[in-house]
Amino acid sequence: MEHIYDVAVVGGGIAGFSAALSLKSLRLDYLWLGDAEFGEKVKNSEYVRNFPSFVGDGKQFFEALMRQKEREEIAFTHGRADGIFRTKDLFAISVLPDMYSARAVILCTGVDLRGKLQGEREFSGRGVSYCAVCDGALYRGKRIAAVLSSPDFIGEAEYLADFAEKVYAFAPFEAAFEHKNIDLCHDLPRSIEGNMRVERLLSDRGTYDVDGVFLLRKAVPPEALVGGLRTEGAHAIVGRDMATNLKGLFAAGDITGLPYQYAKAAGEGLVAAHSAKRYLSEISKI
Ligand SMILES: Cc1cc2nc3c(=O)[nH]c(=O)nc-3n(C[C@H](O)[C@H](O)[C@H](O)COP(=O)(O)OP(=O)(O)OC[C@H]3O[C@@H](n4cnc5c(N)ncnc54)[C@H](O)[C@@H]3O)c2cc1C
C-alpha cells in the first residue's frame, strides 16, 4: 500500500531543513525532498555575517548544518519534484518516475537567481553575488559592477555605493542615483572574467575592471510547479502563517519574497511546520 506522509517538504535549503527539524520535533511523519542538500547558496557564501550565533564562511556554515542534520537524524530524500498536484484531500508529488503522497506540503524551493551571463556560475561566491545586503560590505573601497534587472534594485545599487569606491550600474532603463560614485551604464553585460576571483566584466561596448559583480534580478515564478498557486512575480503569496491560497500548501524561505536571507528562511520554515501541524489537526476533526 502507498505510504502517505503527514507533510512533504520540497526543497533542500535552509527553509526546508528548518521545516524538517520542526516537523520531527512535532513528531510528524515527514518527507524532506530536494535536489541538493543546502546547495550552492550555502556553500558559496563568502562570509555569513547575519545568522545569529554563526561566525564563518559558507563552507563552514554547510558543515555545521550537516553536523546538525546528522545529530538530529533528519532524513533527506534526493530528487527533483516536477509537479505537485492536489487530489481530493491529498497532495501528489511527482519526482519522475516516482510519486509521493502527503496530506500537507511545505514548498521551500527558493528562487533561481542564475542567469546566462558567461562566467557567472564559475565565479559565484568568488566575486559574483546576488545579494547587496549580504555581501556589499565585503567591497569596501573596491570597484564593483551592479547589473540591475529592474528599477526595484536602485536602492540596492545605492547601498553598494556606501561601501564601494565605484559602482558601475548596468541598467536597461534610465535612473538617477544619489551617490556620486555610481556610473550608469547602458551597455549590455556579456561575460565575467578573472583568475581565482572576478577581475573584470565585459560588455558589448568595453571592459570594466572590477573586484565584484552583483547580479540583482527578479526570480522565476513557482506556479509552474504547483498549478493554481497564487503568486506575485517570482514569489508565492503567503499569510503570516505561511499558508498559500491552496489548502494544506504552505511556503517558506526565498520563495515567499525578499529579503533573501538565511535567518528569514529558517524562521519561516519553522512557522510553516507549526501551521502544517495545526492544519492536520483541523482536518482530522472533520
Ligand atoms: C552566493 C550567495 C551568498 C549568500 N550569502 C548570504 C549571507 O551571508 N547571509 C544570508 O542571510 N543570506 C545569504 N544568501 C541568501 C541565502 O542563501 C538564501 O536566502 C537562503 O539560502 C534561502 O533559503 P531557501 O531554503 O529559501 O532556498 P534555497 O537555499 O534556494 O534552497 C532551495 C532548494 O530547493 C531546491 N529545489 C528547487 N526546486 C526544486 C524542486 N522542484 N524539487 C526539489 N528541490 C528543488 C533548490 O535546488 C535548492 O537546493 C546568499 C545567497 C547567495 C546566492
Q: State the distance from the centre of ligand 1 to the C-alpha of 183, rounded, in angstroms.
A: 30
**What is the per-residue pLDDT across 117-146, written as a single tens digit (0 to 9) for each?**
899 878 988 999 877 887 899 999 999 999
Under the banding of pLDDT at 50, 70 and 90, the label for residue 218 is: low
105 lines ligand 1 (CB under 6 A): no
Whether 110 is in the pocket of ligand 1, judged by its Cβ within 6 Å, is yes
Residues 21 and 68: their CA atoms lie apart, in Å, by 10
Residues 6+ apart with CB under 8 A from 64: 54, 56
Ligand 1 neighbour 13 (Cβ under 6 A): yes
- Give mean pLDDT, residues 265-275: 98
| Ligand 1 site, residue 131, Cβ cutoff 6 A | yes
Grid coordinates given for 228? 493554481
> Using a 6 Å cutoff on CB, does residue 203 contact ligand 1?
no
Whole-number CA gyration radius for the chain? 20
The position carrying cell 499569510 is 239
Q: Which atom of ligand 1 is nearest to the CA of 39?
A: 49
> CA 45, 261, 165 angle in degrees (round to 5)?
60
% of the chain residues with pLDDT over 70: 97
pLDDT of residue 119: 92
- What does the pLDDT average to over 17-32? 98
Please determine, for residue 20, whether its predicted confidence score (pLDDT) is greater than 60: yes
234, 240, 243, 245 alpha-carbon torsion, rounded to 10° = -70
Q: What is the mean pLDDT of residues 107-118?
A: 81
**Rounded mean pLDDT, 66-80:** 95
Task: Enter the C-alpha cell of residue 272.
Answer: 510553516
Predicted TM-score of the model (pTM): 0.77
Q: What is the mean pLDDT of residues 180-199?
A: 95
Report the residue among 41, 61, 95, 268 best suited for mutation to probe ligand 1: largest number of ligand atoms under 8 A from its CB. 41
> How does pLDDT run across 151-166, given as a tens digit for each residue?
888 999 999 999 999 9
- Say whether 86 sits in a helix, a strand or coil: strand
253 Cβ below 6 A of ligand 1: yes
Q: How far apart are CA 100 and CA 10, in angstroms?
A: 11
Pairing mode of beta strands 182-185, 166-170: parallel
Q: For each of the domains in the chain, give its residue range(s) and CATH number, in order of start.
A: 4-112+219-285 (3.50.50.60), 128-216 (3.50.50.60)
Which ligand 1 atom sits nearest the alpha carbon of residue 252? 26
CB 18 less than 6 A from any atom of ligand 1: no
In the three-class reduction of DSSP (H, G, I as helix; E, B as strand; rest coil), residue 269 is classed as: helix
Pocket test for ligand 1, best of 9, 32, 45, 226 (most atoms within 8 A of CB): 45
> What average pLDDT does the chain have?
92
Q: State yes or no: pLDDT of 219 exceeds 60.
A: no
Q: What is the DSSP string of 240-264?
A: TT-B-SSTTEEE-SGGG-S---HHH
Of 126, 260, 268, which is best to mutate to test ligand 1, by the most ligand atoms within 8 angstroms of its C-beta? 260
Cβ 211 vs Cβ 192: under 8 Å: no
- Check residues 113 and 96 and name the one with the higher pLDDT: 96
The Cα 181–Cα 202 span in angstroms is 20
